[in-house]
Amino acid sequence: MSNVMLSCHDVTVDYGARQALRGLDLTIGTGEWLGLIGPNGAGKSTLLRSIAGLIGYTGSVTLADGETPTALDLALVPQSPLLPPGMTVAEYVLLGRTAHLGWLARESRADHKIAAGVLRRLELRSFARRAVASLSGGEAQRVVVARALAQQTPLLLLDEPTSALDVGHQASVLELVDGLRRDDGLTVVAAMHDLTTAARYADRLALLHDGSLVAEGPPAEVLDAALLSDVYDTPLSVRLIDDELVVLASPRSNRNRPTS
């Protein structure tokens, strides 16, 4: 791996009686796209929220310089962002500047310029005065990405950013992020539901199960049919179609174990 950007060491999160993360070790390289995969409740969101400092954990999450990351280092695109009624797209994107402002300061011209630049870049200019709450799912997710970009952080955390979108909008949001990664050298850590999509975009996958890291490496290594079937508790097959790894649920007739 190239330069290490972020290291998680022995990260453990207790939700009361349940351990959501169990001593997880993971490193993320500068400029890479790390996909977090695993069934519901595996700990993907919990790991992202730990990295973002939104929940308490034991262990350590550190940047290359040994510091704990802040909102100046990473921006989070939440799974279901709150879109306040009446707030315009421009105002929403400007919120991305919060971490750069002093406690009582207001946005400077430079902040406005950055937000306006992001709006132009993501082709949201004509949306600037629209209310965020009135946007469609795909448009809204684009605006949330815009807010994260306005934060100008080297690391972008995406929590299942496309789970509410149709296939077309999923692709457009992920292409957008991928383009930004290439152009700006961003590092991306994304919890991803769809394994085929994860294989397409991620350089490396981390497979979580029950709060532990089960496998990590390039998609071709991690997406192993037997391993996945075991972790997802359902028969899955992995095919190579047009040079792309595709994960399929096996047809019902082929299932060799009864569903419980």
Partner 1 sequence: MHTVNEDESLTGGAYRLSPAAVCTALGALAVAGLLSATSGAAGLPVAGVLASLFDWVPFLGESSLTERQESVLFQIRLPRLVLGILVGAALGMAGAAYQGIFRNPLADPFFLGVSAGAGFGAVLALGFGLDIGWGPFDPVPAAAFVGALLAVTASATIARGPGSAPGTLLLGGVAMAALFSAAQTYALQRLDETRAREVLNWLFGQLSTSGWSSNLLLGPYVLVCGAVLFAHRRHLDVLRVGDDEARALGLNPARSRVIVIIAASLMTAAAVSVSGLIGFVGLVVPHIVRLMVSHSYRVIVPISALAGGALLAFVDVGARTLVAPSELPVGVITAFVGGPFFAYLLWRGNGAET
3-state secondary structure of 63: strand
Structure tokens belonging to residue 250: 């096996």
Which of 200, 202, 203, 199 has its CA nearest to residue 228? 199
What's the min distance (Å) between Cβ of 67 and partner 1?
A: 15
Where are any strands of DSSP class E within 64-195? 74-77, 155-159, 187-191
What's the min distance (Å) between Cβ of 144 and partner 1?
A: 9
Q: Does position 94 bind partner 1 by CB under 8 A? A: yes
Q: Which member of 56, 86, 251, 258 binds partner 1 (CB under 8 A)? A: 86
Residue entry with tokens 């790991």: 47
Q: Which member of 58, 68, 98, 136 binds partner 1 (CB under 8 A)? A: 98
Q: Does position 17 bind partner 1 by CB under 8 A? A: no
What's the min distance (Å) between Cβ of 193 and partner 1?
A: 20
Residue entry with tokens 């406690």: 103
Structure tokens belonging to residue 142: 């684009």
Helix, strand, coil percentages in the chain from 3-state DSSP, rounded to 5: 35, 30, 35
Q: Which of residues 24-83 bind partner 1 (CB under 8 A)?
A: 52-54, 70-72, 75-76, 78, 81-83
Site string for partner 1, 105-124 (x = CB under 8 A): -x--x--xx-xxx-xx----
Candidates 39-47, 57-65, 93-101, 236-244: pick the segment binding partner 1 (CB under 8 A): 93-101
Distance, in Å, from the CA atom of 17 to the CA atom of 153, rounded to the nearest integer, reads 35
Q: Which of residues 127-146 bind partner 1 (CB under 8 A)?
A: 128-129
Buried b (16+ CB within 10 A) or exposed e, 161-194: bbeebeeebbeebbebbbebbeeeebbbbbbbbb
For partner 1, give the closer residue by CB, 51 or 199. 51
For partner 1, give the closer residue by CB, 133 or 225. 133
For partner 1, give the closer residue by CB, 107 or 194. 107
What's the min distance (Å) between Cβ of 53 and partner 1?
A: 7
Q: Which member of 31, 39, 95, 122 binds partner 1 (CB under 8 A)? A: 95
Query: CA neighbours within 13 Å on the CB side: how many for 55?
Result: 16
Q: Is 230 exposed, middle or buried (0-12, 13-18, 19+ CB in 10 A)?
A: middle
For partner 1, give the closer residue by CB, 157 or 247. 157
- Interface with partner 1 (CB under 8 A): 52-54, 70-72, 75-76, 78, 81-88, 90-96, 98-101, 104, 106, 109, 112-113, 115-117, 119-120, 125, 128-129, 147, 151
